[in-house]
Structure 1
């Protein structure tokens, strides 16, 4: 693992993080009291010092030394630490730094938009979750929101012990995921939340990666125009208008605090530079991700964008194909009486396509959303389905991690037989004996609701009156699908269509 330390302490001063004295050895905000190192692997520690200054990092009887380069950057690799602790990390240069209460365990990045950011204080049974959150060996870190076109090397943040006093504002999905790992493995867990509500996936990718593909040229051009036309003066005027509205008693129509698009969560590369870059290279087990709502209208581009983002993070981290598990979009808005197309169904499909990358996994939650709210409160189900991937793939537990997924379609007469893979206990229809959620189309391409029957552990027969020869089949293909096909282990079948372009 190699942290791309390409800027000096001068860079930190220019971009508002304070001038670091060239006589003092220093560490980025990631390295602080109560931190967690990833177990079972070497871990980089990096920072800044005088050019040519000798720096020694010590912990648990090992010492690693290096010399700061001409820009004042230094980095060492620590040998794997035994699980547990607490340890003391000592950094020696022209001065000394001490980091106390360091643990060795499992480290996960929790990233995405508002449904990852959504705090434990706003989930179902929040009061119970909070008062029971006495886990001193779960450590929490929240990255401050900084949207910028300039890579940030550090941030103002701190690790805290998980407790009823600290957990309330932390990512619910992140905490519930981490708690399940901690309770199962009995090892310390470090959770780093850098999510940002409303963020676009394009904001999580460096500009040069986006610029290399024609797919994103219009999005980039639109944002270039928007940010070039927005000035400090315009922003000041909007702030003044908001303050006048507030002083007047907040009359209708309602106003929102004006957002500066130059520093927001939609601008390409802003979040890669502001809230991801400072983490790159830190020893982790993997990433959990919950995002896609903002990209719901750009599903075709997401087919390229999402795997590009994952591959870029892995490449920059230098830790190989670390695990990357995500949450598929939940059900949302009104249910439709007739089958049709859907932007969110297309986005879910793009998410599922990204399973072609190694060491990835998808939590299907089309049964855990709320039609009236884009932020479903049931984050417990989300975390349980996410953690199955980690428990099975990374920690060796014997369980099927993924929802059943479409494998093949065979047509004989007026019946299409759908075969699924990733089957555990066998298919069944939840709540009713009738299988609900399938639509079929003939040569005319007109989809109608279909009759469906489970035949065997992994197959469903689909047919519809008036469709003599099925050409295409869809399942749960809607923004808020009415569908009830599950594996008996409780995992819903992954939405799909056989007529994907």
Structure 2
């Protein structure tokens, strides 16, 4: 019923707002920004190609011995449809009219997937655990990423910014870690080109990724659409102002202008601090004021009685982007990472008596550290080892802090308009989705909003039940930047319920998160689990593609017997005893259950419960769980009480 209602609403809105279909008008021949050198086209599906030009002129398109023509419409748009092609390449795509010609080289036909969501989809391969290994073997010229430039808009856009980049040791670090591992496995197994269209943005809830038309079709979300429209907010202009403020932050130099790096600067009013020197430890509860980023200045005065040799400034820990000054002279060190960093200080920069060490540390999301404890920063002169501990001084307000993104970025439909609509109708095999953290504050709404997004995108792409694969939220216990509670369990439940939608698959990640980091660095296993789902749902292989999913339970002899789908050849526990199950009676007072695996079932009991009625598994933000199938895929958290 929801699906049918939305189709009717969409048709009506298209006829009611014809200008929404109007593209940017230009007399010059243009093609949508997805069509660029090194692009990948979806194999075995028709190939739409579209753009703008001078009205009433004819546009000719040729690709691999196929030719098609189209007349540019009065609204300046044109579109042709080429027949499906088998995997292969390289090809040249030619687009011409009477005056202009566009030639696009190194075009391959293979598999194309759209990777979308928030920060854990955007999380780069270069920041993931596997990067040290992958960097040595990332030269896959037929794995190509198109990274959609961030943007937000009140109106559906018809062009997109970005470029296709071939995977190499020099380029792959910037790719989505999850999507890269998915693409790599797909490329190696199918031996064809793989294109990933990466359209993701950290910190975003689901609402801006759904079109206004779809959200207006639901009574629960229609008021938010009306409110956003009536506010008169202009997200495009607000985002442009935000980018200007980001540039000002990146080029900040107020500290140098004031002479903060010099001995003469007066710092009596600065905050007295001790190790570790980092935003989150120094400013504690105030940390949220300096997210997503700031520049932390720290200063340390020290005395020297003699200067007969060069010195070494030793950091047992220095992480983040730092600028280091001694008595006003910058000591070159950029993007330091790790431990045991040593800097040679020529004796010419030092002086007898009073000296100054000043450090400007760039902090993003409260990262960046100078020294972990007393004595972790020191000066070595010959055999002398001078500890630079004791009192340091800190100031976080010298430079501008990183600007906050406009709250309008979360308005209904604005990311769909700017980052999804311009991709349609580019043929894709399916969607990879990793999002939900930003919706944990109202997790039950996700039960209808996530299916609504899937239906919305499928209707607009007109590719039938386009495979939609998603990641269930990992375990996360919360930290001082992001709290976590039972709402995470409810959000995972909403994701589990979305499997009722056809041609969907879920990669469970409850065992590979990070208890204290909302951005777990193990992206390889996430990508590989998505690939297992794709093998079955998109490529129709007979494989175990999911971890165990709760099917039903049976109460028998003071025990509860739990049956699972996707048990494979049997259930196993990765720990000596099966962890994660809780059991309750009619009072819903849950206790840790004694769990025993019997073939494809789990038997649960508790010595004080003679009449158990209800069970839960992994029902917490950061649960201890251990149930897998023999394919090594973890069971999804679930509950039987509603």
Same fold (TM over 0.5): yes
1:17 alignment counterpart: none
Q: CA 1:481–1:256 in structure 2 vs 1: closer, same or farther (change >3 Å)?
A: farther
**Correspondent of 2:608 among 442, 460, 466:** 466
Output the CA distance in 2 between the equivalents of 1:377 and 1:117. 12
Output the CA distance in 2 between the equivalents of 1:219 and 1:92. 44
**Correspondent of 2:210 among 205, 209, 232:** 205
2:493 pairs with 1:346: no
1:247 alignment counterpart: 254
2:75 pairs with 1:71: yes
Where structure 2 has 5 or more consecutive residues not aligned to the other structure, the ranges are 1-13, 261-294, 296-394
Question: Helix, strand or coil: the match of 2:531?
Answer: helix
CA contact (8 A) 1:35 1:101 kept: yes
Equivalent residue runs for 1:294-333 within 5 Å: 294-333=438-477
Q: CA 1:225–1:59 in structure 2 vs 1: closer, same or farther (change >3 Å)?
A: closer
Per-residue deviation at 1:239? Answer: 5.4
2:637 alignment counterpart: 495
1:441 alignment counterpart: 584
Q: CA 1:131–1:247 in structure 2 vs 1: closer, same or farther (change >3 Å)?
A: same
2:535 alignment counterpart: 391
Figure out how many residues of one structure are paired with residues of the other and give that number.
Answer: 478
2:481 pairs with 1:357: no
Where structure 1 has 5 or more consecutive residues not aligned to the other structure, the ranges are 13-19
Q: Note the aligned Cα RMSD (angstroms).
A: 2.7
CA contact (8 A) 1:37 1:283 kept: yes
1:57 alignment counterpart: 61
Larger Rg: 2
Output the CA distance in 2 between the equivalents of 1:11 and 1:81. 28
Per-residue deviation at 1:131? Answer: 2.5
1:158 alignment counterpart: 163
1:107 alignment counterpart: 112
**Correspondent of 2:406 among 247, 261, 274:** 261
Per-residue deviation at 1:36? Answer: 0.8
**Correspondent of 2:51 among 47, 54, 63:** 47
Equivalent residue runs for 1:185-200 within 5 Å: 185-200=190-205
Per-residue deviation at 1:104? Answer: 0.4
Equivalent residue runs for 1:445-456 within 5 Å: 445-456=588-599
**Correspondent of 2:559 among 396, 402, 415:** 415
Output the CA distance in 2 between the equivalents of 1:73 and 1:47. 6
Question: Helix, strand or coil: the match of 2:173?
Answer: coil
1:96 alignment counterpart: 101
CA contact (8 A) 1:403 1:422 kept: yes
In proportion to residue count, which structure has more strand? 2
Greater alpha carbon shift after TM alignment, 174-183 vs 77-86: 77-86
Per-residue deviation at 1:469? Answer: 1.2
Output the CA distance in 2 between the equivalents of 1:354 and 1:381. 22
2:134 alignment counterpart: 129
Per-residue deviation at 1:316? Answer: 0.5
1:166-185 superposed Cα distances (whole Å, 9 cap, x missing partner): 11111111111001000000
Output the CA distance in 2 between the equivalents of 1:479 and 1:255. 35
Q: CA 1:226–1:47 in structure 2 vs 1: closer, same or farther (change >3 Å)?
A: closer
TM-score under structure 2 length normalisation: 0.70
Per-residue deviation at 1:269? Answer: 0.9
Per-residue deviation at 1:484? Answer: 0.6
Output the CA distance in 2 between the equivalents of 1:10 and 1:201. 26
Output the CA distance in 1 between the equivalents of 2:470 and 2:560. 31
CA contact (8 A) 2:130 2:524 kept: no
CA contact (8 A) 1:437 1:481 kept: yes
Output the CA distance in 2 between the equivalents of 1:125 and 1:211. 42
1:440-470 superposed Cα distances (whole Å, 9 cap, x missing partner): 11111111111111122x1111111222211
